Amino acid sequence: MGSFAGGALPPDDVVVSALRAGDEAMFAALLDTWSRGMLRVARSYVSTDHSAEEVVQDTWLAVIDGIDAFEQRSSVKTWVFRILVNTAKKRGVRESRTLPWSTFEQDGEPGQGSFRGRGRGPGQGPGGPADPVAAWPTPEGEALAGEVRALIAEALARLPPRQRVVISLRDVEGCTSDEVCEILEISPANQRVLLHRARTAVRGLLASYYESVTQPE
């Protein structure tokens, strides 16, 4: 948005006041800044990209409806993403009642799963597991960087849903550990364990890849 230097959002109190006043430019700025990340997070809970898009739409409607009652006890971003996760969880539970359990990859909690196998692989479009890797640091060289992005996408897609959500929020969206705990309503210890496991899995796949490409022929 041209209204905001460098694309940065203004302080939360300014954002809240603008939204309460019906400022369409502010709302559009939030959409531009957060919607892609919201799609990534929502996709960890629901079965299709279309479902994730509907979750994001429902979240923004809830934000508009609830902004007057928002007490600013947390940041606007944390509040929005908490609404998103709760909305996505409810959608995921509904889907789990209509789709075969074999469709879902479980992570120790009934009703929370991730659509596995169906959909796009590395190089897929917005909202799918390939998108988060765009924000990750990559080695020099376009060919190698492309391969690494695809590998990270594959690693993220394989993660259990809760691990994928935590690593996406921390390492892709840049949320703090406290924000992730608040968004997901989990303990700091649980957040650390999930993040450690997710990072270990991603790094393990990358380590295997680098070993294979550096082996002498």
Percent of the chain with pLDDT over 70: 71
- Residue 116, sorted as left (phi over 0), alpha (psi -120 to 50) or beta, turns out to be beta
Write the DSSP symbol of residue 45.
Answer: T
State residue 25's pLDDT score.
Answer: 94
In a domain, 109, yes or no: no
Q: Which residue matches tokens 């990072």?
A: 199
Q: What is the mean pLDDT of residues 107-115?
A: 35
Higher-confidence residue of 69 and 137: namely: 69
Q: What is the mean pLDDT of residues 183-197?
A: 94
The CATH number that applies at residue 191 is 1.10.10.10
CB atoms near residue 217 (< 10 Å): 2
In a domain, 111, yes or no: no
Q: Is residue 1 located within the same domain as residue 99? A: yes
Pair of tokens at residue 164: 């994928």
Euclidean distance between CA atoms 192 and 67, whole angstroms: 31
Q: Has residue 217 got a pLDDT over 60?
A: no
Q: Which amino acid is at 48?
A: T
Higher-confidence residue of 128 and 30: namely: 30
In a domain, 52, yes or no: yes
pLDDT in tens, 30-68: 999 999 899 989 988 988 889 999 999 999 999 999 999
Q: Is residue 181 located within the same domain as residue 206? A: yes
- Tally of domains in the chain: 2
Q: Is residue 16 located within the same domain as residue 54? A: yes
Q: Is residue 80 located within the same domain as residue 131? A: no
Q: Is residue 59 located within the same domain as residue 134? A: no
Q: Is residue 1 located within the same domain as residue 91? A: yes
Please tell me the number of Cα atoms within 13 Å of 46 on its side-chain side.
Answer: 26
Find, among 17, 83, 16, the residue nearest to 56 by Cα: 83
For residues 15 and 76, the answer to whether their CB atoms sit within 8 Å is yes
Q: Which residue matches tokens 């709760």?
A: 86
Q: Has residue 197 got a pLDDT over 70?
A: yes
State residue 90's pLDDT score.
Answer: 92
In a domain, 160, yes or no: yes
The CATH number that applies at residue 33 is 1.10.1740.10
pLDDT in tens, 84-100: 999 999 998 887 765 44
Q: Which domain holds residue 140?
A: 120-217
Q: Has residue 209 got a pLDDT over 60?
A: yes
Confidence bin at 213 (pLDDT 50/70/90): low
What is each CA distance from 165 to 21, 66, 124, 148, in whole angstroms?
32, 24, 18, 20
Q: Which amino acid is at 117?
A: G
Confidence bin at 203 (pLDDT 50/70/90): confident
State residue 215's pLDDT score.
Answer: 61
Q: Which residue matches tokens 């539970």?
A: 93
Q: Is residue 169 located within the same domain as residue 196? A: yes
DSSP string, 164-201: HHHHIIIIIS---HHHHHHHHT--HHHHHHHHHHHHHH
State residue 211's pLDDT score.
Answer: 74
State residue 141's pLDDT score.
Answer: 52
Q: Is residue 98 located within the same domain as residue 8? A: yes
Task: Kindly report the pTM of this predicted structure.
Answer: 0.69
